[in-house]
Amino acid sequence: MPDQRLNYVDGEWTDSHTGETFETTDPATPGEVVATYPQSDAEDTERAIEAARDASEEWRETPAPERGRILRQAGATLERRRDELTELLVREEGKTRTEAGGEVQRAIDIFHYYGAKASDLGGTVKSSSARDVNLYTTNEPLGVVGLITPWNYPIAIPAWKLAPALATGNAVVIKPATLAPGVVHEMARALEEAGLPAGALNVVTGPGSAVGDTLAGHEAVDAVSFTGSTAVGNTVYDTATADGKRVQLEMGGKNPTVVSRTADPEEAADIVAAGAFGVTGQACTATSRAVVHEDVYDEFVDAIVDRAASIDHGHGLDDPGMGPHVSESELESTLEYVDVAQGEGATLEYGGSALDREGHFVEPAVFSDVDSEMRLAQEEVFGPVLAVIPVSDFDEALAVANDVDYGLAASVVTDDHTEANRFVREIEAGVVKINQKTTGLELHVPFGGVKDSSSETYREQGDAALDFYTISKTVYDTY
């Protein structure tokens, strides 16, 4: 029987005032309902915001080491329940067991990381030019923050927003994505069990047009952090900044891997395949363009086709090479881009068809003879579709890599250290990797993009996240 889940508002698990619900289903077996959730509206969201506002003073005044203890204890609870959370993530989002387990572990690590960081929160002491003045700074929470999170990393991304927000003393209202909200509920349960005060965290499920818009525009919300599409993110930004909110956006990507003439085509294919086809290509940092020197182009195309053809599909709990798309609409979007690419004249080297089986499965697709002006080379696909673009030299490779509106992640495969250094300097991306896939992030360093991939205001993760959720106060103390 499907789970019957509720909103979490002011320390209570409660239904929407409308009584309406929506369902999540298993992407590998779409007829199977996983859980039902409240279809919340603006009134439900306002009640959650009011609860956060009422709780913000108590949570703000809680000593930072105590806040850290609660986060670490919640992390320990998540760790004990790792297998259960992994299965829930697989059943709602569709990832393979290995992928989902890795994501759950990342959330656990994030809670422990920011739990430890909380004890070191503070300001700095500076020398004053006056003899009788103590000069120092303090860092204070913003107040109430709204978090709007996506379905593709349904526990990791909420964790890397939520943990630093709570560690720094903010009260939070979070709207998880409607396709896979279950693991956010389980994070709330872990924090509740750890002793988080009522109202310091509130979880409201429902459509972005009701819940998300209310969070972005409500006068009692001091900051908004959003991850999702560029189109929606820009709307959130306009709404939130209209009354001066602090805003952090992380959005789409069209991430390149440049394959140099010095690269081993087989090694390059391993790196690109992992970045392009992992998590069914449903990552904002996924490799969607391989920009390949003509001297190794043919060998690379043969090798990447071999990698794509070797991937097996199945239910994520069986831990295949690739799981399904999260929904029918995401599958249809990928198939549409396959048709568009063929219509533009790109050569379909492999795949690109829906599998003749139950579930939202698609073969990974490899296109060669792609021109940088094609839609396939310019627009985010968000599926396991790779465009392979030939170039004649490294100058052209850099120009092609930068010839998009996005700038999230980029990598280069090369044995030439001079090329690698130049790539770091000249590539227009917030995350740059050398001889690595574009996907995969360390939690203790900043994450974010440039151009249409980000608001270019604040970064996430590491100490950068603490900066976003706090404001500095400078104190001149005469004694």
Active-site residue flag, 428:
no
249 within 8 A of 456, measured Cβ to Cβ? no
* Distance in angstroms (rounded) separating the CA atoms of residues 248 and 225: 5
Q: How far is CA 419 from the centre of its chain?
A: 30
| Residues facing residue 409 across a β-bridge | 431
Tokens in use for 111? 């809670």
Contacts of 234 (CB under 8 A, 6+ apart): 249
Cα distance between residue 458 and residue 455, in whole Å: 8
Bridge partners of 223, per DSSP, are 145, 246
Cβ atoms of 34 and 26 closer than 8 Å: yes
CB 253 within 8 A of CB 408: yes
Please choose, from the candidates 396, 383, 425, 375, the residue with its C-alpha nearest in 3D space to the C-alpha of residue 259.
396
Beta-carbon contacts of residue 457 (< 8 Å; ≥ 6 apart): 246, 247, 248, 249
Which of the residues 99, 103, 250, 380 is marked catalytic?
250
Nearest to 219 by CA among 460, 52, 58, 459: 52
Measured CA to CA, the distance from residue 147 to residue 174 in angstroms comes to 5
Q: How far is CA 49 from CA 54, 55, 191, 202, 332, in A?
A: 9, 10, 18, 8, 36
- On whether the CB atoms of residues 470 and 454 are closer than 8 A, the answer is no
- By annotation, the residues acting in catalysis are 250
